[in-house]
Chains A and B, each alone.
Chain A
Amino acid sequence: MAGKDLEKGSEAEGFEHEFESGLAVVPPDKIKDPGLEPHRVRMTDKSPKKAKNAEVQVAALFMVSVVGSFFALWAYVAFPITEDLTTVRANNLFLGLGMTLSLLGIGIGAVHWAKTLMPDFEVTEARHQTRGSEEVRARAVEIVKLADSESGFSRRKLIRRTLYGALALFPLPALIVFGDLGPQVGNSLRHTMWKAGTRLTKDPTGIPIKASDVTLGSVFHVIPEGLTDLKEHKLEEKAKAAVLLVRLNQLDLKEDPDKTGWSYDGIVAYSKICTHVGCPVALYEQHTHHLLCPCHQSTFDVTEHCKVVFGPAARPLPQLPITVDAEGYLIAQSDFLEPVGPSFWER
């Protein structure tokens, strides 16, 4: 029996490890290998009654598994999923409980069986050097040399060089194919649906917003006019163009001289896409004028062009320059003047 042999090997007195210590510092008062703990005889080995008990326990656990399987089958029929979504709850709960019992019964039973009734002895295997012996190493070199001389790899230069060439070129078709797997990003990261004259409309209805509708302290969640009519890529466009519209007291705004024309009568519009990792920033506090991102707590000050006052965001939220058209509706003066959302490599 392999187990018995190993056991004997490890018990041999004066057993020395072969491997060298290398650069490791081995202190002279190194703790001696204490060897194996004395073998402790299990209760099931001492008393046939205990062994019988354990046997019954293992059988009982397997029976639990049997019951669990039947329970799961019954639950699947007894708690069907209907039109009412809440029926999912009972179905999942009882089906899951049955399957859990059925699997755990087998697993726990098997481990209990192994631990209490299967042969009980300690096994130790000695650690070996990773380096091969000198004969093995010499034999390996011999094999490589033989293969080289038989194939003529070193001798036949023409074959060798054309093989190198073939190997270097074969990944090229794959590169071309992989390159065409997705659309080119192009400058889509730099532009959104907004352009001069696009009306600001309400999310999700697409109803245009009049400047007079935006009362002090109001927040509007805004999408560009025409977004609701898009046939494709609607979510992608919305994810880039979503805007938050807020009206502040004009006196509270601290605007850069070159950006004063970007707001309209205290109404300001900012990209809702966080400059950190792109979560929608929309937690606006009416009195502190702070805009909070719920993901990583980046906080932007709406009174000062949404500069970052707290958190990991690196840049202010891009501002959408707005004005009103002849009918009093809010319109964009242009697209955002910088890419919205998180940083990317060529920014």
Chain B
Amino acid sequence: MGNRFNRSRRKPLAATLVIAAGLLFSGGGYAVATNVAANNIATEYTAEQISEGRKLFLANCASCHGLNAEGTAAGPSMIGVGAASVDFQVGTGRMPGQGSGPQLPKKKVQFTDEQISLMAAYVASLAPGPAIPDQKYLEATGDATHGGELFRINCAMCHNAVGAAGALTEGKYAPNLDGVEAKHVYEAMLIGPQNMPVFNDANITPQDKQDIITYLAYIEDNPSAGGFELGSLGPVAEGLFIWIFGLGLIIAITVWLGAKSN
């Protein structure tokens, strides 16, 4: 009787332990799996897409990035840069680059979306790398206030507090973010194009990235409450304005005050 009582008392405890252990393992395993998915290829590409992409790569990119995308003196290796890099660089027209300089500017896009995704498929097939972001993180439905705080801490020093661009060293610059597609904003944080540093998902989580996208959308849609923005470029633009128009007006009034009436 006592034995049976003991057994029945022991049973729930054992079951709890088993469930706890099971949850821990499956949860941990799930976390590892999602981590891998986030960092590696999220989209599956077919062999045909990859081979078509390779053809486009050989015709348009290989002269600088090498026949096997291994990189040359003229351009870096594409192995492991991921589909996100291709989508960003080609999708904003920065690639293929025209001539060398301190920084490759944004320009007219040279390829169709279809061609860009084929090239992205080829580059993604070379080695695991950042994938094209999930559409659900690109909607401007996040927390704009939190996004604004993250933007001021991580982005504003180069891109300006409202993303109006800023100068860097030796002719380089952080471009204006007005009108940049949400996808490209996300990809830029993920891959760190050109001299921009990387903001990986451990640093700024996908949710945080969505908040930043929401903040940028908010400031695009809401005009400044403070009147003339003068490009939002800060003291240089504002100083120039007041030097020319403010001082100009004061000088004009002074001349009028001192002039004799005729």
Binding site for B on A (CB under 8 A): 40, 42-44, 85-86, 88-89, 92-93, 111, 115-116, 120, 202-204, 209-210, 213-221, 246, 280, 282-288, 290, 292, 294, 297, 299, 310
Contact = CB atoms under 8 A, between A and B. Distances in A.
B242 interface: no
Interface string B184-219: 000000001011111110110000000000000000
A89 B225 contact: yes
Contact of A299 (B169, B226, B257): B169
A294 B196 contact: no
B119 to A, nearest CB: 22
Given A215-B200, A285-B169, 5 more contacts: A216-B198, A217-B192, A218-B200, A286-B192, A294-B166
A297 to B, nearest CB: 8
Interface centre among B158, B168, B174, B194 (most CB of A within 10 A): B168
Nearest to B261: A115
Instruction: Give me the 8 closest cross-chain CB pairs, A-B, nearest first.
Output: A213-B202, A219-B197, A285-B195, A115-B261, A85-B225, A217-B198, A282-B157, A218-B198
A220 B168 CA distance: 19
A286 B194 CA distance: 7
Interface of B: 149-150, 153-154, 157-158, 166, 168-170, 172, 174, 192, 194-200, 202-203, 222-227, 256-257, 260-262
A256 B172 CA distance: 29
Contacts of B168: 283, 285, 292
Contacts, number: 92
Interface centre among A85, A86, A217, A221 (most CB of B within 10 A): A217
Contacts of A85: 225
Contacts of B153: 203-204, 221
Contacts of B192: 217-218, 286
A277 B153 CA distance: 20
Secondary structure call for the A interface: mixed
A291 to B, nearest CB: 10
Given A86-B225, A203-B153, A287 B195 contact: yes
B135 to A, nearest CB: 24
B169 A116 contact: no
Nearest to A81: B225
Nearest to B172: A285
A43 B262 contact: yes
Given A204-B153, A292-B169, A42 B262 contact: yes
